[in-house]
Amino acid sequence: MFPGTLSGGVVGRALEKKIWSYDTINIRDFAINNYGSVDDEQFGGGAGMVMRPDVVGNAIDSIKNPGKIIFFSPRGKPLNQQMVHEYIKNDTITLLCGRYEGLDQRVIDEYDIEEVSIGDYVLSGGELAAQVFVDTAVRLLDNVLGGGLDSTQNESFEIGGLEWPLYTRPSVWRGHKVPEVLLSGHHGNIERWRKQQSDEITKERRPDLIKEN
Ligand code: SAH
């Protein structure tokens, strides 16, 4: 599953340039038997299997320098741009991807693991969540985006709301014109228009973002 989507685009190029790197650990290598078992039934009953603490603990202990450990879980703190800015201050992060119903609570407690969610829906595994996390983190690292600091700062969530509408050539397409102000070359007016558009869209679609700021 790795690098998966992380091999493409700017994040993939940054991987080739060694701006970031990763190792994967297959939890099955720490299985309790030759069948590769890493999970077991839930104490207290109920459907679904749980990842065993002995297996996952041994997998974590095999990492020389795990750094901060994150477990992806719908129960976790919802990931946002501000959290990503904090996480990239770490040189090394270990991302633990769940399967089945999830992970024995004792592993979370033992290693003081942070639980992170990528949204209010349930995936079948944590690998996609890990790739979302890495993608959003790596694009904030120096020398990853072509436009430099400007490309990461002029963006939804960084500007205190959602992005304004974007336009490119041709200036007329199927009879639809690009807003006049964008062709005016008047930077002050363009900036005001963008701010006003951004405010309107944010108010309509994500009023929660306005209250937060
Ligand atoms: N029983 C869990 C869901 C398990 S889904 C519950 O009710 O909360 C299996 C695995 O997929 C999880 O352990 C987690 O690692 C991953 N996963 C599913 N949804 C996720 C989400 N929204 N964010 C992050 N990881 C998620």
Mean pLDDT (the chain) is 96
What three-state secondary structure class fits 187? Answer: helix
Nearest CA to ligand 1 atom 20: 74
Tokens 């200036």, residue located: 171
Q: How far is the CA of 131 from the centre of ligand 1 (A)?
A: 14
The set of protein residues with a Cβ atom below 6 angstroms from ligand 1 is 72-75, 97-99, 101-102, 117-119, 121-123, 125-126, 129
Q: How far apart are alpha carbons 165 and 204 in whole angstroms? A: 14
Residue 68 has pLDDT above 90, yes or no: yes
* 153-198 residue pLDDT tens: 888 998 889 999 999 999 999 999 999 999 999 999 999 999 999 9
| pLDDT tier for residue 212 given thresholds of 50, 70 and 90 | low
**Total-model pTM:** 0.95
